Structure 1
Amino acid sequence: MIGLPQGTKVLFFTAPTDMRKSHCGLSGLIRNELGGDPADGTLFLFLNRRRDRLKALYWDRDGLALWYKRLEQGTYERFRTTEDSKAIEIDATDLAMLLSGVSIQSAKRRKRFSRAA
């Protein structure tokens, strides 16, 4: 599991991604498709078409770091979006469930207190 600092933003790219892309190719996707900056501290997640491979790109203090995981069996869950967004924001709990194979769509969250923004 990736150790994330408190408050790290996690963006899940919803379109299938070519897993041959490395730091530069994924950075280009972030800039061109999402209009984001790969060095802003956000963790960016990418899945391949078969959903058995996941790449995570993030800025690690002094450079880009790439984390890659290939499943031997099964698939990762793909998030369904109703809008035409190219990425959705998930939290650290959703990330942990995604990596562990828990279905996020069917999980129910209990009501919790949160401060008004």
Structure 2
Amino acid sequence: MFFPEGQVRVFLYGEPTSMRLSFDGLYAIVKHHMGLDPLSGHLFAFVNRRATQIRVLYFDRTGLCVWAKRLEQGRLISNWANVSTHEMDWTGLKLLLEGIEPKRVRLRYKKSHSHSANTSIHAVQTI
């Protein structure tokens, strides 16, 4: 799937979502809770309570598609109190999927070297 980046609209659902939901469950949230049209071609992102998994629902003119990502370490969102349902741009979604929280301006995980016993490097990303 290829999107012209300037034309894609992305909506992040501002409440924790069960990752047991699939096409129909996510479709219902978009339609009834977000008040948007799931068949519009926009991307709709949902994050679980622990913020370790994300699902993205979209319609590609032939059917509904769901992307899923599970982090092995770290979190997608640091604090649910600061999250609300809102529109974000394509770049914001890419940063979220890469583990970068734009408001905190750093990675949400730390990398460590296996060859040095007590040394760990905290990765910092500036935007």
Does residue 1:90 correspond to 2:78, yes or no? no
Alpha-carbon distance between aligned partners in 2 of 1:91 and 1:65, rounded to the nearest angstrom? 19
Residues matched between the structures, number: 104
Q: CA deviation at 1:102?
A: 1.2
- Percentage of identical aligned residues: 38
Q: CA offsets per residue over residues 65-95 of structure 1, 9 Å max, x none?
A: 00011111111026725xxxx5211111111
Please say which of residues 90-99 and 100-109 is displaced more in the overlay: 100-109
Q: CA RMSD in A?
A: 1.9
Correspondence for 1:103: 101
TM-score by length of structure 2 reads 0.74
Alpha-carbon distance between aligned partners in 2 of 1:31 and 1:74, rounded to the nearest angstrom? 30
Alpha-carbon distance between aligned partners in 2 of 1:56 and 1:3, rounded to the nearest angstrom? 15
Correspondence for 2:4: 5
Query: Quick check: which has more Rg, 1 or 2?
Result: 2
Correspondence for 2:65: 65
Alpha-carbon distance between aligned partners in 1 of 2:50 and 2:17, rounded to the nearest angstrom? 10
Alpha-carbon distance between aligned partners in 1 of 2:55 and 2:34, rounded to the nearest angstrom? 16
Q: CA deviation at 1:4?
A: 2.6
Correspondence for 1:37: 37
Alpha-carbon distance between aligned partners in 2 of 1:8 and 1:24, rounded to the nearest angstrom? 22
Alpha-carbon distance between aligned partners in 2 of 1:19 and 1:56, rounded to the nearest angstrom? 11
Alpha-carbon distance between aligned partners in 2 of 1:14 and 1:46, rounded to the nearest angstrom? 8
Correspondence for 1:46: 46
TM-score by length of structure 1 reads 0.80
Higher helix share: 2
Q: CA deviation at 1:3?
A: 4.0
Q: CA deviation at 1:10?
A: 0.2
Amino acid at match of 2:102: I
Higher RCO (C-alpha 8 Å, min separation 6): 1
